[in-house]
Structure 1
Amino acid sequence: MALAQMQEKGYDAVSMRSIAKELGTGPASLYAHVANRDELDQLLIERVAGEFPMPEPDPERWDEQLKQALLDMLTVYRAHPGVARATLAMIPTSPAALRNAEGVMALCRAGGVPDQLAAWACDMFALYMGAVAIEEDVWRMRAATAAEDGEPYGEEAVVAAVRDHFAALSPQEFPLLSSLAGVMTSGSGDDRVGFAVEIMVEGLKALARRSE
């Protein structure tokens, strides 16, 4: 129920009160099962984390496995809008979330990444993929609001407006942004995510080699 509410109205619209209202009961009844919003967030994370596919580490291709695991994480977040917001400032302690962290650490160890680097990378991966999902949720809610108001809104229109804005900048003050307007706004969201995943994993490999 909480997942459905988030998908329809966003993370901030979901509360113990909103869930109780949909169930036709009072918030006090829910508190007998869920102590507070933090616990509700943990339950949401647990529910969604169980859908993350985590491969058996292969030392010969651990890096490609890790890149795919990160992209799969975003795919699951996209299937459950709003849930990524629950992961911010939340240290996951539920079984499914812990298994995912264990899986990422195992992939890093299969590649010979030092444990400390792997631990920090695990945190970095979660923060970045969660941030991408949260940003996409924000854009989705803006699009829904615009649609309700009868206003045209879409990725292509937004990108085109930004490109035009960059191109119209003063060449004296912004020589690079004005001349590279097309470059600055090129590529799809998936292209940019793929680039970031490549940088993160390949950067981790480089740091691991440097520490040998």
Structure 2
Amino acid sequence: MTDEAAETPTPPPSPWERERRARTHVTPTRAPLSRERVVEAAFTVLDRQGLDGLSMRQVAAELGVTVSALYAYVSSKDDLLELMYTRLFDGFALPEPDPERWREQVRDYARAGRRRLLSHRDMARISMAHVPFTAELLPHVEALLAIFRTAGLPDRIAAEAGDLISTYIDGFVLEEGMWQDRAARHGGDGSSLARPDWSGMAGEMREYFASLPAAEFPHLRALAGLIVSDSSDERFDTGVEIILRGLASYLPGPGACGGVADA
């Protein structure tokens, strides 16, 4: 190489080369923070880590912001949990009360409530800790009471029935969530609504009950084939039906039960 060639200056980058380099370093525009984004991030953390692992710090990390930035949209973790619970009711509405179909309407309400709580991990625990008497949820309470009162239930029973149904739903889904967590701890993904290896466990329990001494456990032996169900859906619906038949016994008419309504 000659000295002349060695001293030849390197040409500057062309304009289009400079533009290409600049584009490779552009930082993507971050979506502005909002209450909706905070709630969605909280659901993501909840599904991944459960209620015990949900914290404002974890939600902030999910969004890539500081914890202090969240407080422009939620006042506390309890406020965030309430917003999450309220979000489950978006798009849900009870039908106009029909006294001829009140049992079916309550059945549908219970099934929808179970589906809501199962849509995210540990929502039954959150539900149990938050009374539904916020401005957003009061219309749902009002609509459920309307079904009971329009059906003809005495006021005392109608007043208790909503809490009874909600407590049953919460407790049932809480148990389901415990089994899902157990499945995850034993190597499953915890996503199935059925109990892990429940069929085998149910069979073992039936055999055990059937083998008990008849003199001491006649009823467990007699019900051994029925006392354990393979299907969570079936168990849930049976429980709802027991509640509905109990409520129906308070309706005015022949054979109706009295006493409690006036207690």
Alignment match, 2:198: 155
Query: Is 1:125 aligned to 2:165, yes or no?
Result: yes
Partner Cα distance (1:95, 1:167) in 2 = 52
Secondary structure of the 1:186 match is coil
Partner Cα distance (1:36, 1:92) in 2 = 18
Alignment match, 1:72: 112
Q: Pairwise mapping of residues 70-109 of structure 1 onto structure 2 (< 5 A)? A: 70-109=110-149
Query: Is 1:50 aligned to 2:90, yes or no?
Result: yes
1:15-47 C-alpha deviation (Å, 9 max, x unpaired): 222212212233333234222232122101110
CA contact (8 A) 1:48 1:76 kept: yes
Partner Cα distance (1:15, 1:170) in 2 = 51
Pick from 197, 201, 206 the counterpart of residue 244 of structure 2. 201
Partner Cα distance (1:164, 1:26) in 2 = 56
- Percent identity reads 35
Alignment match, 1:184: 227
CA contact (8 A) 1:57 1:110 kept: yes
User: Cα distance, 1:199 vs. partner?
Assistant: 1.5
Partner Cα distance (2:52, 2:208) in 1 = 32
Query: Is 1:28 aligned to 2:68, yes or no?
Result: yes
Pairs aligned (count) = 209
1:150-179 C-alpha deviation (Å, 9 max, x unpaired): xxx422233233334434444454343245
Partner Cα distance (1:5, 1:165) in 2 = 41
User: Cα distance, 1:145 vs. partner?
Assistant: 1.5
CA contact (8 A) 1:17 1:27 kept: yes
1:96-129 C-alpha deviation (Å, 9 max, x unpaired): 4222211111111210122332121111111111
Partner Cα distance (1:66, 1:42) in 2 = 24
Partner Cα distance (1:166, 1:51) in 2 = 45
CA contact (8 A) 2:198 2:230 kept: no
> Which structure has the bigger radius of gyration?
2
CA contact (8 A) 2:132 2:138 kept: yes
1:152-209 C-alpha deviation (Å, 9 max, x unpaired): x422233233334434444454343245322211352111211111121221121233
Alignment match, 1:13: 53
Distance 1:10 1:171, change over 3 A: farther
Secondary structure of the 1:49 match is coil
Mark the runs of 5 or more structure 1 residues left unpaired by the alignment: none
CA contact (8 A) 1:53 1:69 kept: no
Partner Cα distance (2:229, 2:83) in 1 = 38
Structure with the larger RCO, 1 or 2 (CA within 8 Å, 6+ apart): 1
Partner Cα distance (1:18, 1:62) in 2 = 43
Partner Cα distance (1:7, 1:170) in 2 = 45
The TM-score normalised by the length of structure 2 is: 0.70
CA contact (8 A) 1:42 1:94 kept: no
Partner Cα distance (2:200, 2:145) in 1 = 41
Mark the runs of 5 or more structure 2 residues left unpaired by the alignment: 1-40, 190-195
